[in-house]
A and B are shown apart, each in its own frame.
Chain A
């Protein structure tokens, strides 16, 4: 029997499906554009130029200009920065608070579990954006407060997922072995259980990035999040609302950018989930299968 050195390559091949590759590349392009934004924008996104306001798309301005004369393409590229950074902030907050608490509440159970679940019930008693509203009412408008508010709203989701994953892992043999050797609970939780939860958590986190983008865009659209002159896709849509009949691009282009990003995240998350759940994986074409089986028979 030969050592199966090709298995790792085959496994990663399961992840490289067409939808996954396409959406990952779209996201990579958006991320790279956001990172090198200052180098590639044709104009300064914040520079007001009232002589050139509300221009239609032309060779000079690919998507036209908004009411203050700022080039829309440049604002879109800088808006990618705001969108990506703020949504990552939201997900990071929910992960840093939610995952440890989910692990603890799943592993120890009992009163700690009930208490933590009650906390999440209180957060979940608020319809999602409403909690963000009163947070902003309390601490003022601004991007940082919007990120904090939506981060708090997302905590229960990740925490409950981690908790249910922990409950499943808790009863497995490796945990009992670790306990019998005498490993501390912290070590078991973070070095043994958590790595096994990571694959499912990655699916959820990718989805949450998409939802975070949508919720943040909504907050920015109403005006309770980002404040001018920061370029943001949601805020740009609000600015363009008045000019819908004359210059629809001011609102539509950031909107399409949002949809593109969130669709890519959703499809990527679906692909990761399909990869992790072997029953959903599609079999390779029959010729390849036959070759594989013959190969294994011979060598």
Chain B
């Protein structure tokens, strides 16, 4: 088990290296001139431009600039942004709680709502409640996140006009209130997908022989479903959830735009629009690192729950 984790971590290193090269080169390919952004509104004379180029290493060849960025990154120094000369680390630490909260709350909401829906629709297969819920989940799988967001904003502005979900927050209570609607929106797509997967894997477990044995032995069906089938049915759900983390992170960026939240997503988008190289580079690589580690975590969880994965990994050596 430990070896499995170490092996996976080692596989991440070359991937991260290549990813960082890709990010760096893509950002530098951009047409926006960084010098004018750095100098800003001050008058730019040739001396100032030369000074800026010297200070920010623009005169050095690209691989050297990449090396400088990478070594700084590994030391933990994220640098300053070009526009406002703020420390990128502080920018990210201000915006990460918003995005992390979004992703966390929506995952929790999604799992808490989707799994029961999946179980109910599987147990009551082909009844009207199954058909209704299936249609609703189908629509939500096909609706873009920002559409459900817009729709919810409309609905809530009529029902509860005083419920604020825009603007900044200072206390934890406001934080939760502010993030509630966006998390709900982000959760909708996940709920739809996870409930469908739970339903199909519960149906599959329902047809298995151990379920038949348990029922034949006289166990009440509630125990059979919840205690035996559900555990096995959750394995594909965890797999899908791991794959969906990437979609969650991308979706969080969009939802932040709809609800004007100042999270990592808006930081990134503004950075792209301004041509703020270090912000785009640092934010992207951090998001990729977070995504890869979360996927690894889910894979380890998956291997811990299902011994077949562990044994197969060892046998195939």
Chain A residues within CB distance 8 Å of chain B: 118, 121-122, 124-130, 133-140, 210, 214, 217-218, 221-224, 234, 237, 241, 244-245, 248, 251-252, 255, 258-259, 262-263, 265-267
Q: Write out, one digit per residue, whether chain B residues 280-310 have a CB within 8 A of any chain A CB (1) or not (0).
A: 1000100110011000000000000000000
A134-B146 contact given A125-B288, A259-B139, CB 8 Å threshold: no
Chain B residues within CB distance 8 Å of chain A: 15-16, 18-19, 22-23, 25-31, 138-139, 141-147, 150-151, 153-154, 157, 245-247, 249-250, 253-254, 257-258, 268-269, 272-273, 280, 284, 287-288, 291-292
In the complex, the answer to whether B269 meets A130 with C-beta atoms within 8 Å is no
A126 CA to B247 CA, complexed, in Å: 10
In the complex, the answer to whether A222 meets B27 with C-beta atoms within 8 Å is no
CB distance from A153 to the nearest CB of B (A): 10
Chain B interface, >50% SS class: helix
Could you name 19 residue pairs across A and B whose Cβ atoms are closer than 8 Å? A125-B291, A129-B254, A130-B249, A130-B250, A133-B268, A133-B272, A134-B272, A137-B30, A218-B144, A218-B145, A218-B250, A218-B254, A221-B146, A223-B273, A237-B150, A241-B258, A244-B153, A251-B150, A258-B144
CB distance from B251 to the nearest CB of A (A): 8
Interface centre among A127, A138, A210 (most CB of B within 10 A): A127
A241 CA to B288 CA, complexed, in Å: 30
Chain B residue nearest to A119 (CB atoms) is B18
CB distance from B182 to the nearest CB of A (A): 14
Across-interface contacts of A258 in B (CB, < 8 A): 143-144, 147
A136 CA to B27 CA, complexed, in Å: 9
A137-B272 contact given A125-B19, A130-B288, CB 8 Å threshold: yes
CB distance from B117 to the nearest CB of A (A): 18
In the complex, the answer to whether B146 meets A237 with C-beta atoms within 8 Å is yes
Across-interface contacts of B258 in A (CB, < 8 A): 241
Instruction: Name the one of A122, A130, A251 contacting B18, with C-beta atoms under 8 angstroms.
Output: A122
CB distance from A191 to the nearest CB of B (A): 33
